[in-house]
Structures are given as C-alpha cells and as structure tokens.
Amino acid sequence: MRIGRKYELSRLRDYSSLFSRSEASRWYNNDLSSLRLKIDRYDAAVFQKKGTYLSYLKQVYRILEKFYPNEYVYKNEFISKWLLQEIGISNSVVFSELRLGKAVADLAMFNGVSRVFEIKTLLDKEARLSNQLEQYRKLFNEIYLIVPDVKSHLYLKKDSSTGIITYDHVNNSFSLIRDAKCKEGIDVDAMMEVLHTHEYIKIVNRHFEDCPHLDDFNKFQICKKLIKQLPEETLSKQFVELMKARKINNEFSLKNCQLNQIFLSMNYTAKQKKQLLSNLNATIY
C-alpha cells in the first residue's frame, strides 16, 4: 500500500466512501465490516494480520490526500490546520453541514461574528456557487471560499467582498489570499428558517415586554413580525449568540486528525470519540 504508486480512479472513489457519517455510525457500533471489505478487496497483502483498523484508515486518508483530494480532505485539513488554531484562541463554535434554507454551509463558525466557509475542490463545478453566495449573504457577517490554489484566479473574479483561502494539496497548506469584508445586516426571513422555536422566542422575550399570546399556530408569524422591528446590527449579534449557545461538541484531535471532520459532523462528545477510536484500534485479523 505504498503511497508513491498509482491508483485507479474507481479505487480512490471506493476509498473515499469510508469517510462518511454512515460509515462512522457503523464503526461506533463496532461494525468494521466495511473496512474489512476494503482490505480484502485492495490491501490484503499488506494489512492482513497486521496493524489496526485505525492505522489502515490513516493510510487510506494519506492516499486520498495525495491522489484524490475530495471535499472530506479539504474540510478535514482546514479544520485541523486552520480552525483548530482559531478555536484555541477564541470562544468559537464550529458547525459542519449547517442547513440554511435552500443551501447547506460546508463549515460555519460563530465567535464575535458569523463566518461561513464554502469549499470548492478540483472535483467541483462552479454552477451552484452564485446561489450559495446569495444565501450566505443573507445571514453571515463574513463569507470565505476555500479553493484549489491552481484555480484561485477564477474565484478572485467573484464578488470582491468574499474572502479567498487557497489549498495546496501537494504541500498540504492553506493560504489566505483575500480577507472577507464584514457586513452587519441580516435577513430576518432567512434567520427564522435557521433558528429553533425556543431561540426566536428568546429574542422576542428579551426585547418585547408586551408580547401577544403565542400558540403553536401563530408563534412563528408573530415572532417574525416583531423581530423585523429590531435593528439589523442587534439581530446579527443575537444570531451569533444563539448559535454559540447550541450544544455543539467541537471535540477535535491532534493525534487522530484524519477523523476530525467525522467527529464534527457526528457531533461526538469526548466520550463518544473515545469509544469510536477504541473500536477502530482493534487489530486486523
């Protein structure tokens, strides 16, 4: 399983299927059959009766990193090499695959401001980007695109308020090419689609003493009507505060950094992360 060799595209795609939520759920329940299948299919000569399933996953990840840098690799490397430093120096909360109405944010960070990170790999097309940016502008103070360094010139032509971070998969490094411009405005309709019921009621209770009676049939419309009366800057800060208060477990790892995106997407606690790693540390037989 030497990294210097060449790999067929079908094999690389098959390897990449391991790094998913569904696979992580199986491993957490101590079902390692998918890993066993890949070993038998491609790597029995090297990994039969040798090492652990975790060491095998790490080796597969290194192959993908070099030959098939898909979205998981981009996102995982960005978490491990960029966001971990940011989290370490600020009171930040990071979300993966945050649903925003008609769009899904690859990564979203909330500290003093709201930031969204949209990932475009060498394998991605730009067709959906305009709509994604339009959705992000409604909610976030800052928008960043994470793009291949060889295609940065294409993305620099986009909206100049959007920040650009490039990824060099050869040297495995990120570079900030352009800072995002910060804006305070927020679209109430878009925000209401993201907030949970208790969160938008909290905004209303905080700012309106004489709130009308709320029931299951009218609370959404009444709260939205009241919230639209508040200044955009106030709402933007409230949005950040409420998102930071959600129970998100940013339990990352330096030793097992190849799985950081899995830990984030599964919202694993420290105990759950430990259980997953314990299962994966079983010896291959």
Query: What pLDDT digit, counting tens, does each position of 186-200 carry?
Result: 999 999 999 999 999
State the pLDDT at residue 2. 55
Q: Which of 139, 159, 178 is the last residue of a domain?
A: 178
C-alpha distances in angstroms, 41 versus 35, 52, 95? 10, 17, 35
- The answer to whether residues 174 and 197 belong to one domain is no
Q: Is residue 78 part of a domain?
A: no
- The answer to whether residues 206 and 229 belong to one domain is yes
Number of domains making up the chain: 3
Q: Give the DSSP letter string of the chain.
A: --TTS---HHHHHHHHTTSSHHHHHHHHTT--HHHHHHIIIIIHHHHTTSSBHHHHHHHHHHHHHHH---HHHHHHHHIIIIIHHHHHHS--EEEEEEEETTEEEEEEEESSSEEEEEE--TT--STTHHHHHHHHHTT-SEEEEEEEGGGHHHHTTS-TTSEEEEEETTTTEEEEEEPPPP-----HHHHHHHS-HHHHHHHHHHH-SSPPP--TTTHHHHHHHHHTTS-HHHHHHHHHHHHHTS-------STTGGGHHHHHHTT--HHHHHHHHHHHTSBP-
Q: Is residue 23 part of a domain?
A: yes
Q: Is residue 83 part of a domain?
A: no
Q: Is residue 15 part of a domain?
A: yes
Q: Is residue 208 part of a domain?
A: yes
- The answer to whether residues 240 and 201 belong to one domain is yes
Write down the mean pLDDT value for the chain.
91
Q: Is residue 86 part of a domain?
A: no
- The answer to whether residues 115 and 149 belong to one domain is yes
Q: What is the mean pLDDT of residues 208-219?
A: 84
- The answer to whether residues 172 and 107 belong to one domain is yes
- The answer to whether residues 174 and 106 belong to one domain is yes
Query: What pLDDT digit, counting tens, does each position of 12-51 carry?
Result: 999 999 999 999 999 999 999 999 999 999 998 887 667 8
- The answer to whether residues 234 and 254 belong to one domain is no
Q: Which of 150, 178, 206 is the last residue of a domain?
A: 178
- The answer to whether residues 99 and 148 belong to one domain is yes
pLDDT band for position 157 (50/70/90)?
Answer: confident
Q: Is residue 183 part of a domain?
A: no
**pTM here?**
0.90
For residue 3, is pLDDT > 60? no
Query: What pLDDT digit, counting tens, does each position of 241-277 carry?
Result: 999 999 899 889 989 999 999 999 999 999 999 999 9
- The answer to whether residues 117 and 148 belong to one domain is yes
Q: Which of 156, 178, 200 is the last residue of a domain?
A: 178
Query: What residue type is 119 in one-letter code?
Result: I
State the pLDDT at residue 45. 83
Query: What pLDDT digit, counting tens, does each position of 87-122 carry?
Result: 665 778 999 999 998 889 999 999 889 999 999 988
Cβ atoms of 67 and 12 closer than 8 Å: yes
Q: What percent of the chain has a predicted confidence (pLDDT) above 90?
A: 72
- The answer to whether residues 165 and 125 belong to one domain is yes
CATH number of the domain where residue 125 is located? 3.40.1350.10
Which residue segment(s) compose the domain that 202 sits in? 188-244
Q: Give the span between the Cα atoms of 236 and 193, in whole angstroms.
A: 15
- The answer to whether residues 166 and 124 belong to one domain is yes
Kindly state the tokens that stand for 103. Answer: 């769009």
- The answer to whether residues 18 and 58 belong to one domain is yes
Closest listed residue to residue 149, CA positions, set 170, 126, 128, 132: 170
Q: Is residue 36 part of a domain?
A: yes
At CA 121, angle to CA 97 and CA 138, rounded to 5?
Answer: 45
